[in-house]
Structure 1
Amino acid sequence: MAGRHFRLHVLQSSLRPEPVPRIQDAYLGSLQSQLLATVAIVALAAGMVLGISRLRPTVERRFGSQKGEIVSILALATVIGATVYALSVVWRVTFVLWITFRTMTFGRWVAAQQLVTFALIATAYLAIRAVNRSIDKAAETKAITKHQSEVAHHVADVAIVSFVSVVILTLWGIDLTNVFIGAGALTALVALTARETLAAMLAGFILLFSRPFRVGDWIEVNETDGIVTDVTIFTTKIQTFDDTHVLVPNDEVTDSQLVNYSRNDQLRIDLEVGVDYDADLEHARSVAVEAVGGVEQIKDTPAPQAVARRFGDSAILLEVHLWIGDPTKRREHDARTAALESIHAAFDREGIDIPFPQRIHAARNDSLRVATSGTENDRPASTLGE
């Protein structure tokens, strides 16, 4: 105990060494001088912080990013500590620092605990920065998507902080049994009250690892057709082609049939065209294939083809298959329009009719005849009322 009081006395004396009282009495005796000194100290600290931030890139280039970051952090901590001490001297409140240190226990075991705790916190901070920097580099090289990088940031940060927190609590002798029991009960409560949110979050992780689409892909899910603009933990944002923004929960994306038109480098377009029953079907098919083959947007391989689809009410329906490369909605619209115009012009040139729906009304011999003129005596007996 006596040794501890001796150390505290030494600490108190070291906070106010011999020159400090003389400086306070000679230069810091009035309020104006204290304010002026405060402004000067704050300006000096701000200048030093600015200088450290400007020198940091040079240090990182010379010694590496991690070493440069450590040096910058230590320099900033030194500046902050010196500023706090200088302000305490100016305003004659060094006793606050002495009280703060006095309340701390300086036993060997506690000092070791504090030192290890500080080291763990610093290590966790540096580990988070290193991992996040690696994730950012992977995102820059397109190894992972933007959504994956964001999720990876959160997962890595939470994992590192959780692990270090458990180690620190164990170091200080805190029983984690009750903590884990409470966390389990809280997790069960959240699972019951926010099932849909948790399902969407789990689906977000599934989308992260399965990667069925990326931002910018053209997809169709739940009859929603559009471009993926953003993917978060909970929702997928789709911009439809009528400029509507739709938020689809991730659990609906994983539970529904998903079509990704951008995954392949080509897309097949199907066109239906009707030809008259009296037309030469084989000739009509060859004319349709030749017509779409000259369209600029259509790929030569696979080659366009036309097949007889079915008998319609007024025509035989042909289905023309054609392919476009690098599929987008605009390219699909342009190719479809150009193909229809080309087929229509080719059929007109070859004299092939594209019939429109028609109905023929024909009288049957055994049908009931209804007189429209004449007297009642002139009508057939079967048409007269009883």
Structure 2
Amino acid sequence: MFSLKEYSHEILSTIIILIALAALRVIVAKLIRRYASTSHLLEHRTNLVVKYIHILMNILVTISLIVIWGVETKDIFITVSSIATVIGVAMFAQWSILSNITSGMILFFSFPFRIGDTIKIHDKDFPIEAEIEDISAFHVNLKTKEGEKIIFPNNLLLQKGISIMPAHYEEKEFFD
């Protein structure tokens, strides 16, 4: 039977890491939200980025806890390489999902255009001029002047040349 004294160092380290994780999650979320508010980014896009970063932090903490609790290094490498192999084979067939998520993150942080902008996608076979209605993790929702809705993948959006069209304002006479 085990005693708490035998594992006091591991228990204390685990508690410290979990408290640090909780604090870092709050701090990182606040920093991202502050950046998003100064850049006038949409809330649901901000939530996606926060979610992705929290997942990364959880993975790093899990690896740290495995090391703290004394799992043999060779066992960790065997497990990680096995998991990476399975994920690699599964994701090879689904590379576009990862590509779209990565492109969504790039669009979030570089922010070359905003919702409401009219863009022109320079594609030889299928040129598009449309207004951006929404930008999500996987795709951008566009609406043409004719009312056609187009869902365009993020990874293709970064691969094509894009022009941001100037806003067209109708000149109207105003009467008092």
**TM-score, scaled to structure 1:** 0.38
Superimposed CA distance per residue, residues 210-249 of structure 1 (whole angstroms, 9 cap, x where no aligned partner): 4221222111225332221221221111122333332101
- Could you say which residue in structure 1 is the equivalent of 2:97? 197
Instruction: Find the partner of 2:132 among 193, 216, 228.
Output: 228
Q: How far off is 1:151 after superposition?
A: 4.4
- 1-structure distance, mates of 2:6, 2:28: 32
Question: Which is higher, the Rg of structure 1 or of structure 2?
Answer: 1
Q: How far off is 1:188 after superposition?
A: 1.7
Q: Give SS of 1:108's match.
A: coil
* Structure with larger RCO (C-alpha < 8 A, sep 6+): 2
Superimposed CA distance per residue, residues 157-178 of structure 1 (whole angstroms, 9 cap, x where no aligned partner): 1222122111101011123112
- 1-structure distance, mates of 2:46, 2:21: 19
- Could you say which residue in structure 1 is the equivalent of 2:41? 145
Q: How far off is 1:181 after superposition?
A: 0.4
- 2-structure distance, mates of 1:220, 1:150: 28
**Paired AA for residue 255 in structure 1:** Q
Q: How far off is 1:155 after superposition?
A: 3.4
Q: Which structure 1 residue ranges, 5 or more long, are not aligned?
A: 1-102, 263-326, 336-386
2:61 matched to 1:164?
A: yes
CA contact (8 A) 2:45 2:137 kept: no
Q: Give SS of 2:137's match.
A: coil
- Could you say which residue in structure 1 is the equivalent of 2:85? 185
Superimposed CA distance per residue, residues 96-117 of structure 1 (whole angstroms, 9 cap, x where no aligned partner): xxxxxxx8x4331313322321
Matches within 5 A, 1:214-293: 214-221=114-121, 222=123, 223-262=127-166
Q: How far off is 1:119 after superposition?
A: 2.4
Superimposed CA distance per residue, residues 249-271 of structure 1 (whole angstroms, 9 cap, x where no aligned partner): 11221222211114xxxxxxxxx
- 1-structure distance, mates of 2:92, 2:147: 37
Q: Give SS of 2:84's match.
A: helix
- 2-structure distance, mates of 1:255, 1:212: 13
**Paired AA for residue 126 in structure 1:** A
- 2-structure distance, mates of 1:136, 1:206: 16
Superimposed CA distance per residue, residues 44-72 of structure 1 (whole angstroms, 9 cap, x where no aligned partner): xxxxxxxxxxxxxxxxxxxxxxxxxxxxx
Matches within 5 A, 1:369-380: none
* Count of matched residue pairs: 163
Q: Report the identity percentage.
A: 17
Superimposed CA distance per residue, residues 177-205 of structure 1 (whole angstroms, 9 cap, x where no aligned partner): 12220232023212321122223223323
Superimposed CA distance per residue, residues 106-153 of structure 1 (whole angstroms, 9 cap, x where no aligned partner): 3313133223212211220121011101211222222x6337634431
**Paired AA for residue 102 in structure 2:** L
Instruction: Find the partner of 2:106 among 192, 201, 206.
Output: 206
- 2-structure distance, mates of 1:198, 1:134: 25
- 1-structure distance, mates of 2:8, 2:88: 39
- Could you say which residue in structure 1 is the equivalent of 2:8? 111
2:21 matched to 1:124?
A: yes
**TM-score, scaled to structure 2:** 0.78
